[in-house]
Amino acid sequence: MSSRHFFLTRRHWLLAVVGASGMGPGHALAQALPVPASLPEALARALQKGSPLLVMVSLDGCPFCNLVRENYLAPLQGQAGLSIVQIDMRNQQMVQDFSGARQTHDQLIRSWDIKIAPTVLFFGRGGVEVAERLVGGYIPDFYGAHLDDRLRTARAVVAH
């Protein structure tokens, strides 16, 4: 396969993802996840339910982020009652981190050494990651299975 053919195929696939999601420039997300003011408070609410806190790192305008948010995380939040919040790359909004310090979303993401959106993190007691991060969103045939696997691991750690 030539590199031109791969580029066109990938480009067409991206356009299909954006078109299928209904997302275009300036589109307001139909399935927004809550943005926390305090990660310790969000974690405490999750742990009260016996659940890990899932944090989606997102990037404004990212079609893969929209796909993950609308097709996987928002339904889990609604149906299973999971605690899921969103932190945004390049966002200067302040949030309290797990140590109690206040940082911008962007500073927090950098401190977590995240470079790819979407990334989903799974936090347990003490703000410790309890499952492997789920990085990227471009594997739609397997994304749900990877998410389920990590969620199962995170739940087991939180339960003990």
- Residue 142 and residue 91: Cα distance in Å, rounded? 29
> Is the overall model pTM greater than 0.85, yes or no?
no
Q: What is the pLDDT of residues 85-122, one digit of tens each?
A: 999 999 999 999 999 999 999 999 999 999 999 999 99
Q: What is the pLDDT of residues 22-64, one digit of tens each?
A: 444 333 444 589 999 999 999 999 999 999 999 999 999 999 9
Give yes or no for a contact between 80 and 100, defined as CB atoms under 8 angstroms apart: no
As given in the structure block, the two tokens for residue 69 are: 């948010």
Higher pLDDT, 14 or 140: 140
pLDDT of residue 80: 80
- pLDDT of 131 > 60? The answer is yes
As given in the structure block, the two tokens for residue 12 are: 């067409």
- Residue 121 and residue 51: Cα distance in Å, rounded? 13
- pLDDT of 79 > 90? The answer is no
- Residue 27 and residue 156: Cα distance in Å, rounded? 37
pLDDT of residue 20: 43
What domains appear along the chain, each with residue ranges and CATH number? 31-159 (3.40.30.10)
Averaged pLDDT, 123-128: 97
